[in-house]
Every structure is written in structure tokens, then in C-alpha cells.
Amino acid sequence: MRRADRLFRIVELVRGRRLSTAAYLAERLEVSERTIYRDVADLIAQGVPLEGEAGVGYRMGAGYELPPLMFSRAEAQALVAVVRIARDRIGSIQAQAAENALGKIMSVLPAAERAAAERLQLYAPTYGFDDMTRHMLDSVMAATEMRRKLRLQYETEGGDSSERLVRPLGTLYWGRAWTLVAWCELRNDFRSFRIDRIQALDTLGETWRDEPEQTLQAYFRRERARMEACGEYEPAFDPSRAPNAAANRAPNPVPPRDTARHTSANAPDARTSDETRVRQLPQDSRPPDEDDPFGR
């Protein structure tokens, strides 16, 4: 057990009993009494109101709330804001989990902080992720976590139906849509699929192992190179360094086109302020078409 975890457990155990001896704590945590004395002294030095002394026992001072579950008023309001914004924009399973987690946090807040959080006048009206899209998002994220391949029935931008066998690598949120980044075994390359265009999917029992240049980080590195070639790269958005793209999005990002149907023969011309320069770039280096930012 890590020392931080042990300190947390000491506080939990002492709070749950009228009096806890060092011998009792040592037995529960499987350490020596000497270690307990040292840990208690450190907790007291950090401001935890433990009362008592060695050989007698310890109890928690009145009114103390467990620090790992204590939030300031601003932090509590931030948690409420995040859940309100996210709950209609993520999968149904994650939305319910977020609500449950928030409920647990609110239940242990002091009354003043809880009331302030509940009074927060911040709302995020729903604008369009239907139940099917949210269900697909849940399924895609579960398959990504379990590293299980997916068979997709997909509708391209042009309305054509396509079947793909993919390795789901990650999901990206662009404000107006979710996309799945995957390694497509038909094209033997990375492809992006809009979640709301997935007509059906089967989660297969087959799993995979990471292979060089077929990982999400490899996709991020390639996207950075594409963005730099097109003059779109901003240091604030460095996908090659991001554990997930959402954590490093540039302001007002334009998502990558849906690459499920992208080939040099049928890709739309990029409409930019410097169209001639863009057309001279290799087809795969073209920036997203701002008039149709999701389809490629």
C-alpha cells in the first residue's frame, strides 16, 4: 500500500470509531505501531485534527471532513458545470455514471458548498445527439477499452453504404460531432468515422496488439505533420503529444474529414483563402473543407 493511501485509510478508520488505538490501526493496515505513530504525527502536522496520544488512542476532532472528498465552493460548482455540459453530449452509460458520481460528491459536501453548487445558474441546452448516436458512442468506447475489433456498417457523406473491419483507437469530440479514429483493415490505414453515420456495428471477440505506426499516437503524429504542411498547426494543439486529442484541442477546431470514402479521385477540392497553394499539396495533406468539415 502506498503511504498516501495508508494516510487516507488512517483518517477513514479513526473517523469511523470513537477511539482507535495504534495497535488497532497497525493490525488493520498491516504495519508496525511505530509506523502508525509516525503517520499520525505527519497527519497532525498537515492540519488533520487528530486528538489523543500514544498508548491511549486517537479520535477525530469534531466537524472534520475527509480532505480527499472536500471541495471548495468554486470546485463544487465546476463539477456541476462539467456534468451539466457533458451529460447530453456523451454516451448514455457515461452520462449516468457522471450523474451518479456527482451525486456521491454532493452528498459529502458541507451544506454551504452543496447549496452553492446547486444554485449554479449554468445550463447547456441539448442540440442534437440522438439516442442512437449516444448508444453507438457507448459501444465504440467500450470496444476501444477492451481492444476488440468492430465491424461497421457505415454511411458515407455521399449516402453510400460501406462495411469496414476496424481497430477502434480513440474517439474525438469536435463540439458538433464525435468521430472514431480507427485502423481500417480494408484500407490498411487510419480512417476517421463520424459516430452519427454508423448504421450498425458488431463488437467482435477478436482483439489486437499495438503494432508500430498503427497506434493512436502514430495517428496524432501524422495529423500534426499534415497540419504543419497545410499551415494549420498551432502549438496549442499538438496531437502528437496528447494522450487524448480532447485535452489539447485548439480553439474552434475543425474536425478531420470522414476518411472512410476519401481517395484522391473523389476528394472534394479544399476551399481555403489560398486555394492554389492547397491544390499543390499531396491529396492526403489537404486541410478539411470548411464548408463540409466532417466529410472526406
101-139: per-residue pLDDT in tens? 888 888 878 888 889 998 999 888 776 688 899 999 999
Average pLDDT over residues 170-196: 92
Q: At what angle do helices 73-86 and 111-118 cross, to 10 degrees?
A: 40
Residue 255 has pLDDT above 60, yes or no: no
Write the single-letter amino acid at 207. Answer: T
Q: How many CB atoms lie within 10 A of CB 31?
A: 17
* Contact (Cβ atoms closer than 8 angstroms) between residue 61 and residue 49: yes
pLDDT band per the 50, 70, 90 thresholds, residue 46 = confident
pLDDT band per the 50, 70, 90 thresholds, residue 70 = low
pTM over 0.75: no
